[in-house]
Structure 1
C-alpha cells in the first residue's frame, strides 16, 4: 500500500482491494453526490477496478482519504490527465458529509496538487466544479487556485480553476 500524503489529521493512500464497499458507500449519500455528474452504480464498481489497475501501472488515479485519529474513511481524491488539455492534470475530491467545513478539503487539494507537480511534468493543475458548488470553489481558492472563464464539459457549463507550478 502506497501513501501519498500524511499529516496529523489525514492520510491519503491507495485503496486496498477489499475496500470496494467503503468506496461505493461514499456515493450513496445524495448530498455528497449533489454536484457530481450522474454515474450508475455499475460505473462506480468499474471506477474501483480501474483505480486498482492504475496503482499497478503506476498511473495517476483515485486515492482514499482516512482520518489519522480514528482511521475513519473521509473520502476520495483524484489526479488525472485533463480531457480538455492533456498538458494539464485535473484534481478533485469527494468527502463524506461529516468532514465538510473542517479544512480537510483544502488540505487534500494542496496535497494532491503537490503530488501532481512532484510526479508529473505538468506546469498546470486544474479543477472544475459545478457552477453552484460554492463550497468547493472557496476550497480551491483557499488552496491557491485562480478562477478562470467557465468551461463547457459534456454540454454543461462548469467553473474552471488553475494553479501553476512555481
Structure 2
C-alpha cells in the first residue's frame, strides 16, 4: 500500500478514493482515451465508482493497484499511474507487476505519463522491492510505446491480447537505474 503520496515536480501520486469519481468518469468515458483499449468507454459515474472500488480491492488483496495523479497547482485529477499485480495469464506470464497509466485527454503530450511512471518505478524498486516490471500497449499507440521506452522498459516482443495486437515490455531495477 502507498502509505503517503509520492511527489514529482508537478504531481502528487496517491491511492484512488471515491472523491475521484468525477475525474475517473471524465477519463474513462472519453472514446479517445479508449481508442487503444477495446473501444469500450464507460457511460455512467456508477461505472467509474465501480472501477475505483475494484482498484481499492486490489490494494487490499495485493498491496498494490493503480494510483491517482493529482496536479499540484490545481489539485485536479489528471488520471492514474502505477502498478497492477496481474494474476491471470497474459503473454505466457502470471503473477507479475504491470506498470501503466491513463490520462485525461487534455493532459496528453505534456510529459505526465513519463514523469509519473518514473516516480512509480523508483518507488517500486526502493519500497516494494520489485525485481522486474512489465508493461504493454497496443502496437498503434506510439505515445504509450515511447513513454515505456523513455522509462527504461525494453521492447521484448509483439503478442495478441484479446484479439488486440500489443507490444510487451520488461525492465529490472538495474536496467532503469539511469532513467
Q: TM-score range by the shorter chain?
A: 0.7 to 0.9
Q: Does 1:89 align with 2:97?
A: yes
* Unaligned runs of at least 5 residues, structure 2: 175-179
Q: What's 1:36 paired with?
A: 37
Whole-Å separation in 2 of the counterparts to 1:134 and 1:73: 24
Whole-Å separation in 2 of the counterparts to 1:148 and 1:15: 31
Normalising to structure 1: TM-score of the pair? 0.86
Q: What's 2:27 paired with?
A: 26
Is 2:125–2:131's contact at 8 Å kept on the other side of the alignment? yes
Whole-Å separation in 1 of the counterparts to 2:30 and 2:40: 13
- 1:8 offset after TM fit, Å? 2.5
C-alpha change, 1:153 and 1:121, in structure 2 (3 Å) is farther
Give the 5 Å matches for 1:24-103: 24-39=25-40, 41=42, 44-57=48-61, 59-82=63-86, 83-84=89-90, 85-103=93-111
Normalising to structure 2: TM-score of the pair? 0.80
Whole-Å separation in 2 of the counterparts to 1:87 and 1:37: 23
How many residues align? The count is 166
Q: What is the root-mean-square deviation of aligned Cα atoms in Å?
A: 2.3
> What are the Cα deviations for residues 89-117 of structure 1, in whole angstroms up to 9, with x where unaligned?
10110011221111111112212222333
Is 1:147–1:160's contact at 8 Å kept on the other side of the alignment? yes
Is 1:87–1:122's contact at 8 Å kept on the other side of the alignment? no
Q: What's 2:177 paired with?
A: none
Is 2:134–2:171's contact at 8 Å kept on the other side of the alignment? yes
* Unaligned runs of at least 5 residues, structure 1: none
Q: What's 1:128 paired with?
A: 136
Structure having the higher strand fraction is 1
Secondary structure of 2:168's match? strand
C-alpha change, 1:88 and 1:58, in structure 2 (3 Å) is closer
> What are the Cα deviations for residues 96-147 of structure 1, in whole angstroms up to 9, with x where unaligned?
1221111111112212222333344542111110110001101111111111
